[in-house]
Amino acid sequence: MTAHLPHTLRSDARDNRARILDSARAVFAEEGLAAPVRQVARHAGVGPATLYRHFPTKRDLIAATFAEQQRACRAVIREAVADPDPWHGFRSLIEGICELHAHSRGFADAFMASFPEAVDFDADREQSLRAASELARRAQEAGRLRPGFVVDDLILVLMAHRGVQDMPPDTRLAASRRFAAYMIDAFRATP
Amino acid sequence: MTAHLPHTLRSDARDNRARILDSARAVFAEEGLAAPVRQVARHAGVGPATLYRHFPTKRDLIAATFAEQQRACRAVIREAVADPDPWHGFRSLIEGICELHAHSRGFADAFMASFPEAVDFDADREQSLRAASELARRAQEAGRLRPGFVVDDLILVLMAHRGVQDMPPDTRLAASRRFAAYMIDAFRATP
DNA sequence: AGCCAACCGGACGGGGGCGTCCGTTACGGT
DNA sequence: ACCGTAACGGACGCCCCCGTCCGGTTGGCT
């Protein structure tokens, strides 16, 4: 049995951990998960060893870094599904996820598991997809979403959207929104 | 003045060069430009030094590897522009470029210069964009392409399409075509 | 056949990223 | 104020990738 260590970190350790997570969010958001761990450490004003003590592997760091974004993503999906107008919900879902991904390349990378070593978002993704599928079905029944749409198309959008993130940083957000708008247009049913 | 070397390589050298280019096409197509040069050499059954003698830098190898694809790309654009029906030409252009990019991740990478060290396709891209812009204008005047379309949207499509290439190899082509179809739908004018 | 040059490829150096070790620092309880 | 211990961080080893060097090999011309 593992003797459980004290749940209270020393003040400096707690401070450093917080700064590391903030830095990880900033660095990974800007440069994606390809950014070196040392750069996160430098950004946090901390030695590499300190970072590795708090997060033994890069995977752990990524998981901790994007736990919040993951919650936000779940919230977006929950709200979209709860929308009384399924087509409006569907649009909100696409716009919302794209917005989240646009604000952090790293989160988009982790979510799409484009990095094989990235954190395991599979369970979440599976569940989200199921919910989205339900929403899409209702939107189709309402005659607003084109009948040909399948859930895999949502993955298609997300994969494609990840490619948009490789544009120059100052145009990323606008490009992301424009892309989302086009895709929604493509998914709209033609009466 | 540089004394010009004989334009005829020795038979084994010529053979190796050809095998290297074939291997480069195969490897870069499958794994993108991130694939190590040594892997190309191994695939060709050749030592690294031999490869580097024929192509002093990775950039050179990439340039030589995709010269043919680049010509194919120019041809696609030329034919699209020459199409008497500008909207049909516009669709052909998107489908054609996507198809080319779908058949080789490496070419897509090189074309979009997502790799900073990649070959300089800028001149080509600029010229192609100008031609595409002309085609788009005519398609808009014909009332088939939506008025809001701008040339940057073509770049948007290509960047997004590059993201689609990160899907599993067996689904790439289908996903690419489906994506192209959706984007064309989104660009279609709504009367 | 014989020779020379062109060619080949294993081995090397340089750089960068991930994760680890150990001597030093500083928190916090007494 | 003191001391034990948790925490820190510079330096290290390891691996992978790019590009180079040199001794051995082979093509092709006489």
Q: How many domains does chain B have?
A: 2
Based on the domain organization, do B77 and B170 belong to the same domain? Answer: yes
User: Which residues 97-156 of B have a C-beta within 8 angstroms of A?
Assistant: 112, 114, 153, 155-156
Based on the domain organization, do B48 and B71 belong to the same domain? Answer: no
Which residues in chain A have their CB less than 8 angstroms from residue B160's CB?
160-161, 163-164, 179
| B21-71 confidence digits (pLDDT tens) | 999 999 999 999 999 999 999 999 999 999 999 999 999 999 999 999 999
Which residues in chain A have their CB less than 8 angstroms from residue B175's CB?
156, 159
pLDDT reported for residue B6: 56
CATH assignment at residue A21? 1.10.10.60
Q: What are phi and psi of B96, to 5 degrees?
A: -65, -50
Q: Do A160 and B156 touch (CB under 8 A)?
A: no
CATH assignment at residue B174? 1.10.357
* CA of A15: nucleotide with nearest C1': D7
Q: Does residue B53 lie in a domain region? A: yes
3-state secondary structure of A85: coil
Based on the domain organization, do A89 and A77 belong to the same domain? Answer: yes
When CB atoms are compared, the residue of B112, B162, B186 closest to A186 is: B186
Report residues of chain A scoring pLDDT below 70: 1-7, 114-120
The two tokens of residue A107 are: 């989160």
End-to-end alpha carbon distance in chain B: 65
Nucleotides of D under 7 A from a protein CB: 6-11, 16-22, 26-28
pLDDT reported for residue A184: 98
pLDDT by position in tens, chain B (length 191): 333 445 688 999 999 999 999 999 999 999 999 999 999 999 999 999 999 999 999 999 999 999 999 999 999 999 999 999 999 999 999 999 999 999 999 999 998 875 555 556 777 778 889 999 999 999 999 999 999 999 999 999 999 999 999 999 999 999 999 999 999 999 999 98
| Amino acid type, A49 | A
Which residues in chain B have their CB less than 8 angstroms from residue A166's CB?
112, 114, 159, 162-163
* Crossing angle (nearest 10°) for helices B105-112 and B58-65: 110
Which domain, by its residues, includes A43? 11-65
| Separation of alpha carbons B145 and B176, rounded Å | 21
pLDDT reported for residue A125: 79
Whether chain B has a CB inside 8 Å of the CB on A160: the answer is yes
Based on the domain organization, do B142 and B170 belong to the same domain? Answer: yes
Based on the domain organization, do B111 and B176 belong to the same domain? Answer: yes
Considering only CA atoms, which of B122, B128, B125 is closest in space to residue B81?
B128
